[in-house]
Each structure stands twice: as C-alpha cells, then as structure tokens.
Structure 1
Amino acid sequence: MALTPELALVALLAMIVGEAWRVSVPGVGQDAPLSQATAAALAVSTAWPAHDDPDHLLGLLGPLVLACLAVLVVAAARRSWWAVPPDLARTVSTVLVAGLLARVPLLGSASLLERAEAPGAQAPTVALLLLVVSVIAVVAPVLGRAAVQAAREGSPLRVQITDHLARHGALMLATATTAAVMALSVRLLGAASFVLFLVPMALLQPAVTRQRRIREAQRQTIFALSRLTDQAGLTTPGHGVRVARTAVPVAREAGVEDADLADVEAAALLHDIGQVGLTRPIPGGATVEVSARDQRRVAATGAAILARTADLSRLASTVGDVGIPQHWAEQRGDVPMSARVVRVVSAFDDLTGAGTRLGGGHGPVEALERILRSTPHEYDPQVVDALVRHLERRGLLAASDAVRLRTAATAPDGAGTGT
C-alpha cells in the first residue's frame, strides 16, 4: 500500500504525540509506545517511494523518515539533543526490523506485505504473522539496550536481557498488538486507524506510568532507609548499597530465582538497620567483628522494625535470618539462600572496607581467606564459591587465586582453607 500524504501526515502527528508523551522506565530510560506502534504499523503496511516490486527495500524510506522526523521534532522542541541517539536507535531498529521481516518472501511465495494487501481467507494467518513481526520489532531495541548495558557493566548478556524484558513487561505486547491491528485496518479505515487504535494504548499508558512511579517510590524509600545507619555514623558510608550491588549477582550465581532478586537487593540494603537499636555502637558498623550473639541481636532488631511496616514486612524474616550462622541454618533447614548471601557479602564488605577493629582493611584475597577460615561454620560454602566466581568475572581476583579459593570453599569441613 502506498504511503499517501494523508496517511503520512496523520502518522507523523501520532508519532510526535507519542514521542512527547512517554513512559519512563526506572534504570533504563523512556519508552514511546504510541510512536513505536505507529512506526511498526507503517513499516509493515505501507511503502514510499512506490516501486514496481512491492517488496523493494526502498519502500522503507518513507516510514523511516517519518519516524526519525518525529524524534527530531520533539528533541528540537525540548532542546534535549542528548536523547536523540538512543531514541533514533530505538526508532530505526523498530522500523528496519519490522519492514525487513514484512518484505521477506514466505516459503518462496508472497511476502507478508503483499498478503496483507488482500488477506482473504488467510486473514487469521496474516494477522498472526503481523503480530509476530511486530513483537520482534518492538523487542529488537530492548535487546540492543541490554547488549550495550551488558558490555558497559561486564555482566552476563542473558541477565541483562531478562532484566530489560521484565521491566517492559506487558507494555511491549500491548505495543506490538496495537501495531498489528493498525497494519491490518489501515487499508479499510485509512488514516483513521492511526487515531482509533491508539486510543486504548493512550488510556493504558497513564496506568503503566503510575504503576512504575509507585514501584520507584518504594525502591527509593528502601534506599533512604538504608542510609539511616550511614547518617547516624553507625556503619561506614555506602555499606548497604555496596552489599546490595554485590549480593544480587552473587545470589544469581548461587541459584536464586530472578523473581526473588529484588527482595535480595532490598534485604541487603536494610540488613544493618537493626544497629539503630544498639546502646553501644559497633566500631565502624562491622558486624563481622562482633560476637554471634550480637549479630543475631542486630538482625532480630532489624526484623522487628521491618515487621511493623506493611510494605516491608515481607523482608523481616530474611533480614532476621542474616544473623543466623551456617551451622544453625543447616539445622533449621528453612533459612533462605538470600539471607545466607547477604551474610557472606556483608562480611566481605566489612573486611574490605575502611578497616576493621581487629585486622584493618583487607584486600579481596585476604578478606576471602578470612571468611573461608569460618566456613562452613559461619558462612555457606556455596555462597562463598559464588562470591569468588563473581569477583573473578569482575577482574578483582586473579584466575590462580580464584581457583585456589574456590577449591577451599568447596573442600569438606574447611579442609582446604589453610593459608
């Protein structure tokens, strides 16, 4: 179908509105589902300039120019040129992926673009194929951002892809479905399809934005509470944040499900909040240096504080179990892996931080050796092994040290911990 001036004008206005009215994604950036759905629909249903071969790639020029123009118009109006590269990357990848897939001949016969012109009895199949192509086109920029972030942070690509897809969730499916419906209807309704079928998406978008703001507010509340002990001088500055940043990948290494990683992060941030109830502060807040009884008291106080809050009460048992040594955890049999991870990582950060009362600051190898001397009595060998693998991946441990420490961590009854 040729991209007429009327279609081009209405689609351009719809994409400008979509680029100006976005959904923010904490930690990722901003989505423009209205614009993305319109761009994908144009790519799989229209072509400009016209060509004898309807599948000619030159026909993608019109949809691509319109989508990019919408991004540039909004950037110019807001004077936010710094956002142009990622927005253009999203737009170009969506249009190209959708347009190329729609123009590939299916099993040596007509392409999806040609079949959509007159679906006839094949209408259900064409609709399903349009939905599949739209989903792939919408997911493509998300995968690109995940790859960039994985390369920047040195984290596994699979982990970043999972995190990014989870953040976008149902919004991607709604965007792809809207694009497929618009592509099917544009031949019957013309430019009206870009208005009619964007209304449900426009109604959904505020609800999605509100939900994400609530989640972000909850996360910020947890971070604010984690800084309480820092501000009171009870722990070294940033201890909770450092423990959380390390605990999440270590928990993943140790086999914690991705769905539970948010609670691992929250428990790591709040694991020392019980120190506000101490009558005599722990020097430097390093619980690794105090008795097992004092560790349990700190954890139990923190659990009692969290149990009184409706939103954070789910973390109370995990924070309380951080004070349980490994040999007790084995006897109980119900101490979650997340609590054991936070216990090990907190001890590691205490030992490598500003210095401890007994031994001063340690390097990563020395800190791990000291932890291993108390493993498996105090710490879970599986978690220590996961911590070693994580530190090796980040380049903080030499391969030879990592092999030696992992051997010691998995040795029965600490047989390999001698140094």
Structure 2
Amino acid sequence: MTLAVALVAFVTLLLGEAWRVPEPGLSREAPLAQATIVALVISTSWPVPARQPEAGGQGWLVLGPYVGLVGPLLLAVLATLVVALVRGPLRSVPGELLRSALTALVTGVLVRVPLPTGRTLHDYASSAPGAQRGFVALLLLLAAAAAVAAPLLVRALARARLDQEPFWSVTGAELRRHGLLAAAAATTGVVTALAVQVLGPVSFVLVLVPLMVLLPAVGRQRQIRAAQRQTIFALARLTDQAGLTSSGHAARVARLAVPVAREVGVEDADLADVETAALLHDVGQVGLRRPIPDGATTEVSAVDQRRVATAGAAILARTAELSRLAPTVADVGIPHHRAVVRGDVPLASRVVRVASAYDDHLASARPVDAVVRLLRSTPHEYDPAVVGALVRHLERRGTLSTGEAAALRALAAARGPAA
C-alpha cells in the first residue's frame, strides 16, 4: 500500500462516513464509505515481510496473505471511529464500527482465499490475463456483494431476535430497504479497485463521485416516504384525538396485524399495505353522528360496522396515495360468512378485522379470554385461518402459554374448521 493511496483512501473514508444516507427511525447508511473499503481491501495490502517455511513454519504460509488486511482494516476502523465520535451519539459507535470491520474482513477473506489455481482473487485483480478479466471482475463483485450484505444480515438477526420475528422475513425487509444502495456500493467498490491498478489514487475521486452525487437524491426520496408515513400515522391518531376510539388502538392493531398477516401467508411485499389498512381501518368513525362507546366496533351491529368501514374507504378514495387501499378498508366491515359468499375479500381485510376485534376485547379481558370471544364468533364473523394464525403468533410471542394455545386450538376444532 503506497502512502498516496493510503492518504487519499483515508480522506475518502472520512468523507463517506460523514456523508451518509439518513432514514428516520433506521440506521444511517454509508455506501460511499463501504465502496471505499471494498476498493481499498481489493486493490491494496499491508506490506507483508517474506518469511521462509523453515523460519516461520507452515502457519505463516497460510496466514501470511491475510496479514495484508491489517492496513485497510485499520484505516476503515479509524475513519469510522473518528467520524462517529465527532458526530455522535456514542451509542451508535459500536454498530458503525461493526459495519466497517465486517465489510473489510469479509471482503479481505474472500479475495484472499486460494483458488484451485493456487492464486487468489487479490492476485488476479492486478495481473489477470485479458481473457480472464471479465470473470475475475464478476467474482470480485460477488465477494463485494457478500461483504456489504454482511452488516445487513447481522442487523436483521438482531432485529429478528428482538422482535421475535422470522429471520428470513426481517432479512427480506432489510434487503428491500437497503439492497439497492448496497449493490451500488459493491459495484462501485469493485470498479474503483480495478481502476486503482491503472490510474492510481485518483481513482477514488473519479469513480466514487457519481455515487456521492446520487446520495442526496436517495436521502430526499426517503424523507418524502417518511413524511408520507407520518401523515398516515397522524390520520390514524385522528380518531384518538377526537375521543372516538381508545388511545393507541390503531397503532396496536397495526403492530398485531403485520405478524399475523405474515403468519397466515400474506407476501412480505404486501405487509406495508396491511399495516396502513390497519392504521386507518377506523378513520370512518369521524363521520358517525353518534360515537361508538370507546370506538369498539365489536359492540355494534353489522350494519354499523359496515358503515364505519365504508366511510373510511370513502375518505381514502379521495387521496392519490391511499386510494388503492380504499377497497381493503371497506372490506374490513364484512363478516367472514359474507366474505366467503363474495369470494374476493382480500386476506388483508380479514386480518385487520380479527386484529381489531382482538384489541377491542383486550380492554375487558385477558388475552386468552379475548381469543375465546373471537372463537365464539368464528367462522360466522371471523376467518378461522386468521384466528389460528393469531393464536400461533401470541403463543410464539409468549402472550399465550403452550397450554392456553392448545386449549384454544381444541375449542376451534370443536367449532368447525381447524384454526
């Protein structure tokens, strides 16, 4: 590693760590820094002193190539630490250090693993014959993609354990949210690494500038999405503020509806619509002449339930962004036996209907008793498959004991279709 490359790379790392992509409520990505780390690890090495087998043993022959990781790893960690300490908060420092270290280590190990030819991708990056350069570049891209994905997978594992959700589902959400920027970082890092062999340190500037220009646009797009989400939550709290529903009802229903929908088979790509429909399913109560006590729609007639759902759908139909969810919200007011006759009621609507009823019953009953009340109206009012998914989710979350869940399944089986 030449001094010029080290200095330019370090300055680029500092800039990349400082120039992050903000996303409210989520981690701040640093794709420019990750691309620089990938390029630095692939294109350079810490000078490794030669050592004969009789002097250092066979262990040096195995570990020697990986010692070259020390320089790039130290630069990456040092740049991350400096910017993290300056910007704060301190609680974010471990996560950011883990991201940089993982990116450097995974890239470095993968490109230094000996291939069947006895050489490594790190060797080929600077000396591959013309006929092999395309294949080598593809392998380097795969290694870089694994490196930038490693922090996402670790974060997904932590979230899955904390929220008690399936790892594959949380991983899918992380990849949908951050995958494109991660792919851009991996590609840019490989191109920069290959360019360093020809252009030298200036490659970090020439190749990384386009990614730097892209980041503000990505940040603005995410801010727009965050503003839209805040608008949805504000609209969902409208009934709370007006005293029409119990405080936090919509948010609780949304938190419950998403994992239940996943449990019952709703595709991950559609879970955001399930959450939005759950947040807004009671907004139609603002148009009632006589408020429902505590907003509990389970205590009113089927006609009134349908009226609330239809009024809410009419409100959503007047908005450009939410109009597509109007039919889903309207169908929340349809009992299951009528949904079966119709045959086209969305699964999201049936999930929100069950989640809302469960939350209504929790106001005056224990969780197990709230589910019993649902089962007494199943399958006439509620979809047995959704109620069964609710039971499984509550058992996995620890809200229901194994014995309580087994008793509820027995009750469901005695009433008809298995839940």
Same fold (TM over 0.5): yes
| Alpha-carbon distance in 1 for matches of 2:282, 2:88 | 44
| Alpha-carbon distance in 2 for matches of 1:411, 1:190 | 75
Per-residue Cα deviation, 1:289-343 (whole angstroms, up to 9, x for no partner) = 1111100000000000110111111111100000000000001111000000000
How far residue 82 of structure 1 moved from its aligned partner, in angstroms, is 2.4
SS at match of 2:28: strand
| Alpha-carbon distance in 1 for matches of 2:171, 2:309 | 34
How far residue 84 of structure 1 moved from its aligned partner, in angstroms, is 1.1
| Alpha-carbon distance in 2 for matches of 1:73, 1:194 | 20
Q: 1:297 aligns with which of 294, 298, 307?
A: 307
Q: 1:83 aligned to 2:92? A: yes
How far residue 411 of structure 1 moved from its aligned partner, in angstroms, is 5.1
| Alpha-carbon distance in 2 for matches of 1:237, 1:323 | 21
Q: 1:122 aligns with which of 132, 145, 149?
A: 132
| Alpha-carbon distance in 2 for matches of 1:407, 1:183 | 62
SS at match of 1:197: helix
User: Is the Cα–Cα contact under 8 Å of residues 336 and 379 in structure 2 kept in the other structure?
Assistant: yes
The equivalent residue for 1:365 is 368
Residue 216 of structure 2 aligns with an amino acid whose one-letter code is P
Q: 1:386 aligned to 2:389? A: yes
Residue 110 of structure 1 aligns with an amino acid whose one-letter code is R
The equivalent residue for 1:166 is 176
Q: Cα 1:344–1:90, aligned 2, differ >3 Å: closer, same or farther?
A: same
| Alpha-carbon distance in 2 for matches of 1:143, 1:26 | 20
User: Is the Cα–Cα contact under 8 Å of residues 111 and 122 in structure 2 kept in the other structure?
Assistant: yes
Matches within 5 A, 1:44-55: 44-52=42-50
TM (normalized to structure 2)? 0.94
User: Is the Cα–Cα contact under 8 Å of residues 55 and 104 in structure 1 kept in the other structure?
Assistant: no
| Alpha-carbon distance in 2 for matches of 1:198, 1:261 | 35
The equivalent residue for 1:157 is 167
Q: Cα 1:289–1:340, aligned 2, differ >3 Å: closer, same or farther?
A: same
Q: 1:107 aligned to 2:116? A: yes
Identity %: 59
- Larger mean CA deviation between 73-82 and 316-325 belongs to 73-82
| Alpha-carbon distance in 2 for matches of 1:262, 1:194 | 38
The equivalent residue for 2:53 is none
- Larger mean CA deviation between 23-32 and 241-250 belongs to 23-32
Q: Give structure 1 stretches of 5+ with no counterpart.
A: 354-360
| Alpha-carbon distance in 1 for matches of 2:49, 2:327 | 67
Matches within 5 A, 1:15-414: 15-52=13-50, 56-107=65-116, 109-120=118-129, 121-353=131-363, 361-410=364-413, 413=416
TM (normalized to structure 1)? 0.94
How far residue 75 of structure 1 moved from its aligned partner, in angstroms, is 2.3
User: Is the Cα–Cα contact under 8 Å of residues 382 and 409 in structure 1 kept in the other structure?
Assistant: no
How far residue 151 of structure 1 moved from its aligned partner, in angstroms, is 1.4
Per-residue Cα deviation, 1:234-289 (whole angstroms, up to 9, x for no partner) = 01110000000000000001111111100000000000000001111111111011
- Larger mean CA deviation between 38-47 and 234-243 belongs to 38-47
- Larger mean CA deviation between 42-51 and 276-285 belongs to 42-51
| Alpha-carbon distance in 2 for matches of 1:27, 1:254 | 27
How far residue 225 of structure 1 moved from its aligned partner, in angstroms, is 0.5
How far residue 188 of structure 1 moved from its aligned partner, in angstroms, is 0.7
SS at match of 1:284: helix
Per-residue Cα deviation, 1:366-415 (whole angstroms, up to 9, x for no partner) = 1111110110000000000000000000001111221222343355637x
Residue 385 of structure 1 aligns with an amino acid whose one-letter code is G
Q: Cα 1:410–1:220, aligned 2, differ >3 Å: closer, same or farther?
A: farther
Structure whose residues are more often helix by fraction: 2
Runs of 4+ in 1 over 6 A off after TM superposition: none
| Alpha-carbon distance in 2 for matches of 1:196, 1:190 | 11
User: Is the Cα–Cα contact under 8 Å of residues 85 and 93 in structure 2 kept in the other structure?
Assistant: no
Number of equivalenced pairs? 407
How far residue 229 of structure 1 moved from its aligned partner, in angstroms, is 0.4
- Aligned Cα root-mean-square deviation (Å): 1.5
| Alpha-carbon distance in 2 for matches of 1:101, 1:227 | 50
SS at match of 1:31: coil
The equivalent residue for 2:55 is none
| Alpha-carbon distance in 1 for matches of 2:154, 2:329 | 36
Q: Cα 1:398–1:79, aligned 2, differ >3 Å: closer, same or farther?
A: closer
Which protein, 1 or 2, shows the higher relative CO under an 8 Å CA cutoff with sep ≥ 6?
2
| Alpha-carbon distance in 2 for matches of 1:241, 1:49 | 56
User: Is the Cα–Cα contact under 8 Å of residues 164 and 397 in structure 2 kept in the other structure?
Assistant: yes
Residue 11 of structure 1 aligns with an amino acid whose one-letter code is A
How far residue 79 of structure 1 moved from its aligned partner, in angstroms, is 4.5
